[in-house]
Amino acid sequence: MDTTYDVKFWKTSVYEGKKKTTYTVRWELEGKEWRKPFGTVALAESFRSGLVSAARKGEAFSLSTGLPVSHLSRAAGVTWYDFAIQFVDQLWERTSGNNRKIVAKVLTPVTIALLRCQPTAFKGVDVRRALREYAFNTLRRDQATPEVAVILRWVQRNSLAMAAWEDENIVETALRAAGTKLDGTPVAASSVRRTKRVLNVLFEYAIKKKMLKENPLPKGKGTTAAKTSSAVDKRSLLNKEQASKLLGWIYARPRGGQRLHTFFATMYYAGARPEEVVAIDVGDVRLPDADSDDQWGELLLHTAHPEVGKQWTNTGEVREERGLKGRAADDTRTVPCRPGLTRILRAHIEKEGLKPGDLLMQGEKGGDLAGSVIRRAWRRARKEVLTPYEFGTPLGRRVYDLRHTCLTNWLNAGVPAATVAEWAGNSVPVLLATYARCIDGQLDDLKHRIEEAGELTDPAASGA
């Protein structure tokens, strides 16, 4: 803990406002001024006398909080950097790789904001990388290179104490840093909400460990919540002709085109998430016989392989095996497989020589289909197939838009929302909040139903 005995006291200042008078105690530590306002002169003088008494007894003052050591909570004895690492380590084993990565991204700018001085001997990008990839990664921390270790030791020495969170100005500074990109522009509203969610969990842990007395994040009417929308942008949805051209171009690719076509077709026809499609086992593809009159099949989904990066998984693989999103670890979901998709999957399984136990979607060398390959093929298809204007719009910009298109088509075809929600793995409220703006094709029928309710009597026609 950094302390000093260089203390000077100033006369209590008095500010007479229109509604009330404020009494502010002022003192100085090594040239830095500290202030604490009070509503009455008695409270101000009592606080000031306590500071003066501590100084006369030869007590050291904390440079982080400005208070005598005897006035400090446990938070003054632990740096933010050390506590953040402790939080990461206790969270590591009980959370997913993707959540580990999110926590590291949130803690990195906050840690830099809670330094006594900004680093000048190191590049900012190197400091951020050292924190995000090593300090806040339980598995890699001991693998830090000598250059990274030097940066982390400097950060540890210059980190403010946890007691800094008791200062409202520092709280505002930290939140502002977490909500700003390196170029000075604000981050997305969803990122702001994610940051507050992570910090709330951290502060709950700090309170549990008696490190803080209360959650320092601002709350109540005085705070401005970041506005987010979960609704799908209607401009991102593909019509049948556009989807057909994009998937046709991918099918014709000389290298892996047919394999990737099967992946994109499964998203378009079955509405599964990308991490669910790459995890489908051939044994979970229930297809009818080729000569059957009914060519409807079904897909049994029970596993997801989200791509999070090998440094965040316990296995060292780029993807980790998880249960379905928002469901119990062993839960399953059945999705109908329409005849068009049945033909595609049957041909794919026969061509690749797949059998139950094999992954339906595999990379060129086996194993999971790489997300970089998927995204690269989709970007190239959009560039080659769409017009320059369409390419610059949100139309099919993300692979995930194939899922959005599928779910919207189901709703517009009149499939009940509860059924679509079950097939998609969503709750009904989330489904409607996400896709309500995209439902169309039923307006004429709705107008007719409204008209059938009748009109009011026309006063002019009745002679009134």
- Determine the pLDDT at residue 134: 96
- Determine the pLDDT at residue 299: 96
Phi, psi at 363, each rounded to 5°? -75, 180
- Determine the pLDDT at residue 195: 92
Distance between the two ends of the chain, CA-based, in angstroms? Answer: 89
CA distance 234 to 437: 7
CA distance 414 to 323: 30
388 CB-contact burial (10 Å; exposed 0-12 / middle 13-18 / buried 19+): exposed
Residue 62 pairs in a beta bridge with 3
- Determine the pLDDT at residue 357: 93
CA distance 28 to 55: 12
- Determine the pLDDT at residue 365: 83
Residues of the chain under the 50 pLDDT cut? 221-223
Collapsing DSSP to helix, strand or coil, 116 comes out as coil
- Determine the pLDDT at residue 227: 53
> How many helices, marked H, and strands, marked E, lie in the chain?
18, 9
CA distance 378 to 402: 11
- Determine the pLDDT at residue 203: 94
Q: Report the C-alpha dihedral over residues 69, 74, 75, 81, rounded to 10 degrees.
A: 110
Tell me which DSSP letter residue 338 carries: -
CA distance 97 to 56: 53
Tell me which DSSP letter residue 247 carries: H
Q: The tokens 């101000």 sit on which residue?
A: 44
CA angle 141, 143, 146 (to 5 degrees): 100
- Determine the pLDDT at residue 464: 52
Enumerate long-range contacts of 152-156, CB under 8 Å, 24 or more apart. 154/119, 154/121, 154/122, 155/81, 155/111, 155/115, 155/119, 155/127, 155/130, 155/131, 156/79, 156/81, 156/82
- Determine the pLDDT at residue 108: 95
